[in-house]
Amino acid sequence: MTQLSSRAPFANAIRALSMDAVQQASSGHPGAPMGMADIAEVLWNDFLNHNPNDPTWPNRDRFVLSNGHGSMLIYSLLHLSGYDLPIDELKHFRQLHSKTPGHPEYGYTPGVETTTGPLGAGVSNAVGMAIAEKALATQFNKNNFDIVDHYTYCFMGDGCLMEGISHEACSLAGTLGLGKLIAFWDDNGISIDGHVEGWFTDDTAKRFDAYGWHVITDIDGHDPEQIANAIAQAKRVSDKPTLLCCKTVIGFGSPNKSGSHDCHGSPLGDDEITAARKFLNLPNEAFSICDDIYAHWDAKQSGNEKQKQWQQLFSDYTNSYPELAKEFDRRVINRTLPENFETIANDYIAKCNKDAANIASRKASQNTIEAFAPHLPELLGGSADLAGSNLTLWSGSKGISSDDASGNYLFYGVREFGMSGIMNGISLHSGFINYGATFLMFMEYARNAVRMSALMGIQNIFVYTHDSIGQGEDGPTHQPIEQLANLRMTPNLVTWRPCDAVETAVSWKNAIQNQQQPTALVFSRQGLNHQSRSPQQINDIEKGGYILSDSTKAPELILIATGSEVDLAMQAAKELTEQGVAVRVVSMPSTTLFDLQSDDYKQSVLPNSVVKRIAIETSHQDYWLKYVGLQGKVIGMSTFGESAPGNVLLAHFGFTPENVINTAKALLKVNA
C-alpha cells in the first residue's frame, strides 16, 4: 500500500477524522470512509456544485452516500468544506442529539440530503432526485435559461448492489435515460462477513450495461487523475446515467487492517491508529487538521459565487418569464400550494356529499385526482404496474420517458420497493408532490422505504388499494390482514381508510396539504355506499374519527368502523335502534389523526362512560383493543383469508349485520 498522489494530504484529512471519530465513539465503520477518501476528495473539490452557506440552494448538486454506514465520510466532507458542522460534532459521533448520528439522517445534519441507513435505499433516492431534476428542467428551462441544471452523485458499496432495491431503481434509471445521475461503485470486495467473492460474484459492469447505463470500468479509486478523468467523461454523456467502477482498498492507510473486514465495522484501535498516522504522515493529536488543509477544502467562497451566478440567472429568467419564475418560486423554493387549493378541495368535497355516489373508494380516489390534479402542476403520479387496478391515471396523465420528461406520471413497472424509494428521492429534491400506488398487500415489499419516508418526515402519498378480504378470488396471498396495523403503528405516518367518496376526498386533501409527513391512503376494490353527513360532520372527518350516527338519548353501545365496514355498522345500528338500543356509530378513517386530537374531543366521540363498544374492520383484530377496552369486542381478522368471491368471504368471516347485531346483544347482556 503506497501513497499515489500529491493530493493525498487532503484525502488523508478524511481518513484522520473518520478513524478518530469512530475510535472515540467505540463504534462505527472506518473502512469505507478511508477507502473512498480519494474519490470523495476529487469529486467535492473539483466537480461538486454546492454552497456550505446555503445547503438548500435549489440548483446545488445532490450527493447521496448510499453506503450510509460509512457516515464519517460525509461528516468529514461537510466539516472540511465549511458546513455548519463544527469539530465538536465529529467528536460526538454517534452520541445522543449530536448532528453526527450513526447513519446520515435528513434534518439532523446540514448538507445531508437523505437518510441512508438500509443499504440500497440511497441509490433509489438518488434515482428519484435525478428524475425530479430531469422533469423540472423540462418544465422550467428555456433557451439560455437553464435554471434547473445539476447532477446527482451517489456513492454505493457492494452491499447496496446486493440489495434488490438497487436493481429495481437502477433498471428504471437506465430506461429513463437519467444523464445527470453519476454513481460510484466502491469495489473493495469486502462486507461484514469478509471477502465477498464467496457470495457476490455478479459482473456488475455488465449488469449496468444491460440496464442501459454508461459504464466506466477499471478506475483506480486511489488515483485522483483517473478519478477526475472518469467523472469528466461521465458528465459528457447526457442520455444515460453513468456507473464508475472504482477499485479501492477498504481502510486505506491502516497498515495492518486495510483490505480486510477487520476495519469494516469496528474501530481500528489505538495502536493501529498510531501506525496509520505514521503511514499517512498525520499529526499525532486526534481530530487535528492544519490550516492549509482547511483552506484547500473550504467551499464557502466558491459556493457563494456559484449561487450568486445562479441567482443572477434566475433574476434574468424572472424578467423574461415572470409567470414561470413565480411558479418555480412557489413549487421549488417555498413549497407552497396554490392559493385557491383549499377552496377547490372544499368545493369538491361538498360536491361528493351532494352527489351521494355509491362507488369503490379506489374509484372515488381517481375522481378526486381528476378534480385536484388540474390545479396542482406539482402533482406527480405513478403506479407499480397496476394503474388499471389502482386507478391512478387521470385524463391529464402523461408518462415521463427518456425522450420526453414533460409528463406528470411515472410507470414504475413491477417495482413496489424501488417506486417507494424513488418517491422519497423525488420528494427530497423539491418541486413535486408524489403519489405512487400498489395493492395494500404489496406494501410489504416497499415497507422499508415507507418507514424511511416517515423517519425523514417528508411528504409522500402512498396509495394502497384492494384493502381487505373483500377483494375476493385472488386469495390470501393478495388479501391484507396485518398491514393496516403495521402502517398505523409507524410513527409519523398518517394512515387513512375512508368509507366513501366524501371521506376519500377529505383524505386526499389532507395528504396534499401535509408537507411534514407521508400519508398512506387505503382504498377498497368493492363498491361502498354513500353516508349522509351534515357540514359539521364533514369538517370533523379531518379529525380522524367522528360521530356519523347517534341515538336520540345517551348511547349505551358504540360501533366503531372504517372503510367498507362503516356501512355494515350503519346497517346493524339501524336494526338495533329499531329494537330499542341506543347506538352510536363512529367512523374512524384515520386513527392516526384521531389519536392526536384533544382529550375533550376524543371523549366527546368515545366517552369513558360507554364501555360497551364493538370495533368492526376486516383487518387484524388486536389493533382495535385500545379503542374497545376490556369490556368491548372486536369483529376482525385473526387468520389469513381464503380464495372465494368477496361477498362469500365477508359472510364467512362474520362481517354481516346479523353477526354485528348478535355480538352487540351478547355484549349488552354482560353486567346488564
Is 438:461 a contact under the CB 8 Å cutoff?
Answer: no
The grid coordinates listed for 230 are 472518469
Sign of CA dihedral 599, 600, 606, 608: positive
- Any binding-site annotation on 119? yes
- Any binding-site annotation on 362? yes
What is the Cα–Cα distance from 197 to 230, expressed in whole angstroms?
26
- Any binding-site annotation on 525? yes
Q: Write down the catalytic residue from 378, 416, 503, 565.
A: 416
- Any binding-site annotation on 655? no
Rg (CA), the chain: 28
- Any binding-site annotation on 466? yes
- Any binding-site annotation on 190? yes
Q: What are phi and psi of 247, to 5 degrees?
A: -80, 125
The grid coordinates listed for 408 are 406528470
Is 250:190 a contact under the CB 8 Å cutoff?
Answer: yes
- Any binding-site annotation on 417? no
Q: DSSP assignment, residue 45?
A: I
Question: How many residues are listed for the chain in this entry?
Answer: 672
- Any binding-site annotation on 195? no
What is the Cα–Cα distance from 504 to 587, expressed in whole angstroms?
13
Is 93:72 a contact under the CB 8 Å cutoff?
Answer: yes
- Any binding-site annotation on 29? yes
- Any binding-site annotation on 379? no
- What residues have CB less than 8 Å from 589, skipping those under 6 apart? 496, 497, 498, 499, 503, 506, 507, 541, 544, 545, 562, 563
What is the Cα–Cα distance from 226 to 218, expressed in whole angstroms?
9
Residue 444 catalytic? no
Query: Which of these, 2, 8, 73, 32, lies nearest to 227 by C-alpha position?
Result: 8
What is the Cα–Cα distance from 477 to 526, expressed in whole angstroms?
18
- What residues have CB less than 8 Å from 354, skipping those under 6 apart? none
- Any binding-site annotation on 7? no
Is 398:406 a contact under the CB 8 Å cutoff?
Answer: yes
In what helix (H) or strand (E) does residue 33 lie, and over which residues does it extend?
helix 31-42
- Any binding-site annotation on 302? no
Q: DSSP assignment, residue 284?
A: S
- Any binding-site annotation on 188? yes
Q: Which residues are annotated as a binding site for Mg(2+)?
A: 158, 188, 190
Q: Which residues are annotated as a binding site for thiamine diphosphate?
A: 69, 117-119, 159, 188, 264, 442
Catalytic residues: 416
Q: Which residues are annotated as a binding site?
A: 29, 69, 117-119, 158-159, 188, 190, 264, 362, 389, 442, 466, 474, 478, 525
Q: Which residues are annotated as a binding site for substrate?
A: 29, 264, 362, 389, 466, 474, 478, 525
